[in-house]
Structure 1
Amino acid sequence: MPAALRPIALMFLATVLTVPAAWGKTPADRSEKAIVAYVKTQQEAAAALLEKAVNINSGTMNFAGVRAVGDLFRPHFDALGFQTRWVDGAAFGRAGHLVADHKGKGPHVLLIAHLDTVFEPDHPFQKFERVDSNIVRGPGTSDMKGGIVVALTALNALKKAGALDKLNITVIMHGDEEDSGAPLAAARETIIEAAKAADIAIGLENAADDPSTAVTARRSSGRWQIKVTAKSAHSSQIFTDEVGAGAIYELSRILNSFYNELRGEELLTFNPGLIAGSTQVEYVPEPLQAKTSGKDNIIAPIAIASGDLRAITPDQIKRTQEKMRAIVAAHLPQTNAEITFDEGYPPMAPTEGNKRLLGLYDKVSQDLGFGPVTAVNPRRAGAADVSFAADHVEMAIDGLGLLGGDAHTPDEFADMRTFQIQAQRLGVLLYRLGK
């Protein structure tokens, strides 16, 4: 096993060793028993479907590849009786989304996934590989084509148990989760409208890659940009009343003030990802890059910085942005600066409803013999599409997909031992929600 995989894989092994060899307990409820029995037969079929999906490149900007992954999964939902449709992404500059609807009784459950990966066709990391009997590597194994495979298996188990027709389920599989289209309001209109009609949202991300945790809160992910302008002159004149401090000192003051005045608040982070300042600056926001040229004996007239902002509630975002604007406004002599913010991913704030859904999931896990499930620290869970739904439903949870590690790197892997844990838990949870 590659060294990069060993620590997390061993953690999984320790978890699985607490479970009986036959993949957990047999439930007393007849339908739950049927759900579990079906999932136990699907280990190899799930790995084979995952291999097909992973071997189709679906980097976000490979529109044909994203559509091809949707075309792979779509017949599986059709066979279950779902009404499927493709939402074209031309309006927001992306491939689009696959949506599957199953009308039934009971609460309306929204399952959330994505078809794309961060690995475009020119990246060397392209193919599915079986490392050993448990570990598989490849782009999207755990983030998150594996989550769709888990969901399909759970839904098939419900159908075999005669319980699917009782459920009202919408599945949304975005084609641009890893690099959202613009405007963001258009790119996420489908999920927001679906969430408004739903009662419960369940994300199929790999989240913290820990089978003993699930996500009940996620931080936001937004971007900020600071642009500073100043008088340019010979460097010998810096700090004079007529010339002032120059753009680079002003930008340095701002970033240092952010660090000193804003850091330390719980679950709030702000990271500068790019800084550029000189006589001439060519700045490109997407993909993020900058080119500078100048001389040490010229006072820089322009400086730019961009970064991200993550917070746990809308109020925390608002307060932080107000403080950042105030800091930016306190200019050094003969300089000017402005800060702008993009709309970004909203937070998934912790709520009593989310806590209640975690309690139901924890009960399922313990009843199946897989042990307790607790809420992961939001610092360990990045932004995800479930956040767009969370404000519109009574309860939301994420992290119920296939688990692994090293996402967004050429070492990304999934631990297929977690397939049984996740698919059984999801199937029984959906069954109980339908009851």
Structure 2
Amino acid sequence: MIKTAMQAFISDRIDDFVNDLETLVNIDSSSDNLAGIDAVARFFVRRLEAMGFSTCLEKRGDRGVPCLQAHNRPLTETFDILFLGHMDTVFPPGEVQKRPFSKHGDRAGGPGVCDMKGGLLVALYVLETLHHGGVLNQLSMGVCFNGDEEVGSKASREWIEANAVNSRRVFVFEPCRPGHRFVLQRKGGGGYRITARGTSAHAGVEPEKGANAAVEIAHQTIAVQRFNQQADEGVSAHVTVIRGGERTNIIPDEARASVDVRVASKRQVAPVESFFKSLPANTHVPGVTLSVNGGVDRPPMESDDRTLELWRLIAAEAARMGLKVAWIATGGCSDGNFASALGVPTIDGMGLVGGNAHRQDEYVELNSIVPQIRLIASVCQSIAQDKRSSLQAS
């Protein structure tokens, strides 16, 4: 269990944590607000460098998305643990002015407080606790905080994967679920766009000369729903957006449907892709052609034996603290999906306990600050001890 001095260090800094959380939450950092994301990154750069970390604030992709990498050992060493998180939020610029950081009893609110600025701070405070206790220099630690997770991590995916594959374990600091429930499984996801193209005509005078793209999309929507009902457990496909037509008296020559797709395991990807590829050959309205674009671009996060072994270590440390923990599977995706798909043991939900992500009533439980930092620091300390024992034995 974590040393007494380190426990006191954590407990004595709770006010500092809340003040830092207020600072971060009150920085607008939506995925399209690159300056705000950069400001969040620079907050962490200063603190990480104060502990001796080497930092690199990259601007990735065509848009120059800020992505922060930090490490306390040469990059030629494999990370014992990679701390993974994202600095962007779903809330637009100006949201902070409408509803800045606030406290209501044992809860705090504000844009991104749960998803996931609280989690980023947990990661930082764990590292500062390990540094204070002299444990940090026994571990090779990596930090990757990207700036585009909420829009699919397109600019940062390869960067995340390169760091994950150089790691023995990955901790993802998305919010912990109420009741201290961590995440070991997540569905993979993606999307398809179905586009129907027909022929326009006057809807009242000569509708027979038209080929109605909207009607074709209606047929395809029903086909997707039937597939959804018949698919394996863990697979879902839902038409979420339909657009078509310009005026009420014109047969529409184009219509589109967007489909959200989720899969629970890698083996389920192929049947999904096969179904959507088959749609253009199965049209219903004469004169209408169909095209389908998209795919499952985020692999599922599946727990293997090594992940479960890591979970047992976390559960054992929690039991020593008198903290009851559990793990869940969820339909939502995170960057942990990428790490897990590479075969790296990955535990998600390492952030503050909270809920209602992406909503205006998003919150974190302030009484989870100390237990969460203490638990993760204790797990890291145990990993350091195991590493030291292995080196001595060899």
TM-score, normalised to structure 1, is 0.82
Tell me which moved more, 99-108 or 190-199.
99-108
Instruction: State the shift of 1:158 in Å.
Output: 1.3
Q: Please list, as runs of the form range in 1=range in 2, the aligned pairs for 1:419-434 lying within 5 A after superposition.
A: 419-434=369-384
SS in 2 for 1:305: strand
Q: Aligned to 2:194, what secondary structure does the other structure show?
A: strand
Root-mean-square deviation (Å) = 2.3
Partner of 1:305: 257
Provide closer, same or farther for how the CA distance between residues 227 and 238 of structure 1 changes in structure 2, counting only shifts above 3 A.
farther
Is it true that 1:62 corresponds to 2:33 in the alignment?
Answer: yes
What corresponds to 1:283 in structure 2? none
Shift of 1:107: 5.7
The residue number in structure 1 matching 2:240 is: 273
Aligned mates of 1:98, 1:195 — CA distance in 2: 14
User: How much does 1:396 deviate?
Assistant: 0.6
1:150 Cα offset (Å)? 0.9
Q: What is the aligned counterpart of 1:253 among 207, 219, 226?
A: 219
In 1, Cα distance between equivalents of 2:232 and 2:55:
44
- Is residue 368 of structure 1 aligned with residue 315 of structure 2? no
2:200 is aligned, of 226, 232, 249, to: 232
User: Of 184, 191, 195, which residue of structure 2 is paired with 1:216?
Assistant: 184
Corresponding position of 1:336 = 289
Q: From the superposition, tell whether residues 267 and 32 of structure 1 become closer, same or farther in structure 2 (CA, over 3 Å).
A: farther
Written as runs of structure 1 = structure 2, the 5 A alignment for 1:11-50 is 27=1, 31-50=2-21
SS across alignment from 1:226: strand
TM value normalised by structure 2: 0.90
Helix, strand or coil: the match of 1:366?
helix
Equivalent position of 1:160 in the other structure: 132
Residue of 156, 160, 184 corresponding to 1:191: 160
2:248 maps to which of 295, 310, 315 = 295
Checking the alignment, whether the CA contact within 8 Å between 1:201 and 1:393 is kept in structure 2 is no
1:342 Cα deviation after fit? 4.7
Deviation at 1:301, TM superposition (A): 1.6
Does structure 2 conserve the Cα–Cα contact (< 8 Å) formed by 1:57 and 1:126? no
**Letter aligned with residue 73 of structure 2:** K
Give 2:363's aligned residue. Answer: 413
Distance 1:198 1:363 in 2: 22
Matched residue type, 2:101: F
How far does residue 130 in structure 1 lie from its aligned partner after superposition? Answer: 1.6
Cα pair 1:106 1:166 within 8 Å, conserved: no
Corresponding position: 1:262 with 2:228? yes
Establish whether residue 204 from structure 1 lines up as the match of residue 173 from structure 2.
yes
Amino acid at match of 2:87: L
1:303 Cα offset (Å): 0.9
SS in 2 for 1:221: strand
Unaligned runs of 5+ in 1: 1-26, 279-292
Q: Which amino acid aligns with 1:100?
A: A
Which letter does structure 1 place at the counterpart of 2:278? A
Tell me how far 1:199 sits from its aligned partner.
1.1
How far did 1:329 drift?
2.1
Is 1:353 paired with 2:323? no
Is the 1:35–1:428 Cα contact (8 Å) retained in structure 2? no
SS at match of 1:271: strand
C-alpha contact 2:171 2:350 (8 A) present in aligned 1: yes
Please report how far the alpha carbon of residue 362 of structure 1 lies from its aligned counterpart in structure 2 after TM superposition. 1.0
CA distance 1:112–1:346, shift in 2 (3 Å) = same
Q: What is the percent sequence identity of the aligned residues?
A: 27
Amino acid paired to 1:304: R
Structure 1 distance, partners of 2:144, 2:79, is: 17
Which ranges of structure 2 fall in alignment gaps of 5 or more residues?
386-394
Amino acid at match of 1:128: F
Distance 1:300 1:259 in 2: 23
Mapped partners of 1:255, 1:357: distance in 2: 42
Corresponding residue for residue 395 of structure 1: 345
Q: What is the deviation of 1:92?
A: 3.4
The change in CA–CA distance for 1:269 and 1:83 in structure 2 (over 3 A counts) is same
